[in-house]
Amino acid sequence: MEAELGRTWMEDGRRLALSAAPVALLLLALLTARDENGFCYLDAEGLRGSTLFWGAKLVGLAYLAAAFLRCSWTLSHWKQETPKEELKTLLLLALAPAAGFLLQGWLPGRGLLCCGITLGLVCVYVLVLQTKFTVDTLTGVSNRIVALRYLESELPYYRRHPNRSLHFLMMDMDHFKHINDQYGHLEGDAALVLLAGILKKVCANYNGVLARYGGDEFCIACGCNSVEVRTLIASIQRELDAANAASGKPYQIEISIGCARLEPDIATVHDLIDKADQEMYHLKTRKRGVS
């Protein structure tokens, strides 16, 4: 699900490219600078086999070898649940230096290998920062920022196509405070991780975003019709029941789910979230009345 953000990440990609471009151009200018004799600092003729030249060559080759081995190992152990962002990071780590190495063969006298290494590291650094800002560290799912971005970007599209449906699900774990108080916060964290794993498994084949909204609340934004949403909710409950039966824990993980569909009377993202929130709390109230 999280790999299919579509239009949401296009704008972020453009911003990242614009941010990285000045840095790459500056590094390119520095690495291709020439001395007073007109020799490039990383040119074999200019340095005449100096230690700096061969050191740069060895570092570049070692970097390429390490990147290639790391990518090969990851791809050989690749599984469907491996985050695709990690694979993108590893490919950038290897492809940028490889491109610089090839271009330097065609354009001698230019430090393009070092430029490729630097560009690869910059791309990896940017992707790591992006992951830190958009992924919940405990559960491994996206955080609230991603869900809000997705809704903000998708709302205009679904308003232009009223025959398509956009649903927002807000989920809250029942009796989470009791788990924390009775069994400790580490057990509470384990319950959140278990629930997140169930949600990731169920949502894998749906187009949209799964995120931890905050605390013990999770949310799903998806472009599904009403039948698909009911199937999604039923699948979550079925997987949760199976996990409870197999966990052997002294408590049961239960959740309440509020669902809201984008209607013409819903003006903003916050209105959509508020409607799902109200549905969720109505369900929790009914549960308390039954118990």
pLDDT at residue number 133: 78
In the block, tokens 């992006």 appear at 130
User: CB of 218 within 8 A of CB of 196?
Assistant: yes
Burial (CB count within 10 angstroms: exposed 0-12, middle 13-18, buried 19+), residue 62: exposed
pLDDT at residue number 122: 75
Residue 125, amino acid: Y
- Considering the entire predicted model, what is its pTM? 0.63
pLDDT at residue number 2: 41
Total residue length of the chain: 291
Segments of the chain scoring below 70 in pLDDT: 1-94, 101, 104-113, 127-128, 130-131, 290-291
Burial (CB count within 10 angstroms: exposed 0-12, middle 13-18, buried 19+), residue 276: buried
Phi/psi for 210 (5° steps) reads -110, 130
